[in-house]
Amino acid sequence: MASPLKSVRGTRDILPPSSALWQHVEDSARRVFARYGFLEIRTPIFEATELFARGVGEETDIVSKEMFTWEDKARAQSEKSQSLTLRPENTAGVVRAYIEHQLERTGLLQKLYYIGPQFRRERPQKGRYRQFYQIGAEVLGPTTSGSESPVRDAEIITMLVDLLDEVGIKGWTLQINSIGTPKVRALYNKALQEALNRVVHTLCVDCQRRAIANPLRVFDCKVPADQPVIQHNLPNIHSFINDEVGHESFNHYDGVLKILKAVGVHFETNYRLVRGLDYYTKTVFEFTHGALGAQSALLGGGRYDGLSESLGGPRAPGIGFALGLDRFVMTLEDDPEFKLPASATITYGSPRVYIAPLSAAQDPDAAKLAHELRGQGIACHLGDGSFKMRKIFETAEKLNVQYVVIVGEDELSSGVLSVKDIITGEQRKIVRYALASSLK
């Protein structure tokens, strides 16, 4: 016999009942996004490799090591061969779409959200997959739309606090930092490079490369032996943000924190937080959760005021975030106190009703009854007449339904159906037209 095939390393199947939790998180997000005026965007799952190289940055771990990239050969003379990549994140795709569809012409802020799979060739472990799912949102627009305002940063973060609350995740921590404008960062990079010159020989080969090509990326290093060197020998970006060149960054950061305080959002400042993507400017933030272990980031985001221009578009400052759906669900599953809200159980849970024809002759009428009930909003399973009474009840129990509706010859001719409540053991006779309301 051929050996059975398995899902590919770093990918997995999401099965019921876990899938109900996924739907709960997705629907909670849609509800919260709607309250904040965000609309959905869907971008392609693969894009030109160049989009990520230019958007996310060549020296980032994502682009330098983790992308699923292939050469797509031309199939017709009118086509060109090109390098394509499964999206490792969605911000670059959204900004590409913003530019391509000239959304700046509306003159309004674009508030867009997405839900979907992303792909990174990382070493799989708990909470880290090669195909994983993100829910994210981006706000961007011309400067005249107010896209640079700290109000936007604080609004996104406040929305996330509401979202965590709506989903039912407790015990998170929010860390926030500013990595400044490109001007501040140029000065900081110089100081960083000087400091790195003194210690770089003690760091890993990746850091030695980063020290020259993109010193900020040294902070992404995960090699344990490098951590004390990075912690104790490198300058802090905030001394640059507090000086004269940095006043724009400082005022912006201060503005964000003031609003967060006014709204009552709890945060911690973390001067070492730089986030592993090159497009960030000014505000960066992460929400973490202790229950997640090593992969503790529930979500991350930040401002990217120059991304549109680096992709050949108009000036379109913006800010956004993406949350790890896999990690949200894992946090809920690990919380013994979490219960799916009743409304979610009704929407995504299994039906509570089982329609049981007693012989094949009643299959058409049972199917008609099931169709009627479903039309009246009652979810039900439909059996078939080959099942004997014992199997009907065994199946109903396995399906975890509460009611079994018996459809036999007598029931059909009298128009009175027998409904057995499996939990109480009680059996009732209910006239057919009253069935739907009695099952609700």
DSSP one-letter code for 128: B
Q: Tell me how far apart the alpha carbons of residues 129 and 133 are, in angstroms, rounded to a whole number.
A: 9
Q: In the range 245-284, which residues lie near ligand HAM by CB under 6 A? A: 277
**Residue nearer to ligand HAM on the CB measure, 321 or 403:** 321
Residue 324 interacts with ligand HAM (CB under 6 A): yes or no: yes
Q: Which residue has the tokens 């959760």?
A: 289
Is the C-alpha dihedral spanning 86, 89, 92, 94 positive or negative?
positive
Q: Which listed range, 140-148, 225-233, 318-326, 335-343, lies at the site for ligand HAM (CB under 6 A)?
A: 318-326
Q: Tell me how far apart the alpha carbons of residues 134 and 115 are, in angstroms, rounded to a whole number.
A: 6
> Side chain identity at 199, as an amino acid letter?
V
Among 115, 298, 330, 412, binds ligand HAM (CB under 6 A): 298
**Residue nearer to ligand HAM on the CB measure, 152 or 238:** 152
Among 59, 148, 153, 326, binds ligand HAM (CB under 6 A): 326
* Cis peptide bond upstream of 182, omega within 30: no
- Minimum CB separation of residue 239 from ligand HAM in Å reads 25
- Minimum CB separation of residue 120 from ligand HAM in Å reads 5
- Minimum CB separation of residue 133 from ligand HAM in Å reads 8
Strand partners, 69: 85
Using DSSP, state whether 231 is helix, strand or coil: helix
Residue 55 interacts with ligand HAM (CB under 6 A): yes or no: no
Which residue minimizes CB distance to ligand HAM? 324
Using DSSP, state whether 331 is helix, strand or coil: helix
Q: Which two tokens stand for residue 287?
A: 């929400």
**Residue nearer to ligand HAM on the CB measure, 160 or 260:** 160
Q: Which listed range, 142-150, 205-213, 300-308, 375-383, lies at the site for ligand HAM (CB under 6 A)?
A: 300-308
Residue 122 interacts with ligand HAM (CB under 6 A): yes or no: yes
- Minimum CB separation of residue 102 from ligand HAM in Å reads 21
SS3 content of the chain, % helix, strand, coil (to 5): 45, 20, 35
Is residue 302 within 8 A of residue 285, CB to CB? The reply is yes
Is residue 176 within 8 A of residue 343, CB to CB? The reply is no
Q: Which residue has the tokens 């609003």?
A: 259
Residue 132 interacts with ligand HAM (CB under 6 A): yes or no: yes
**Residue nearer to ligand HAM on the CB measure, 168 or 383:** 168
Residue 155 interacts with ligand HAM (CB under 6 A): yes or no: no
Q: Which two tokens stand for residue 330?
A: 């894992």
Residues that bind ligand HAM (CB under 6 A): 89-91, 120, 122, 127-129, 132, 134, 136, 138, 277, 297-302, 320-324, 326-327
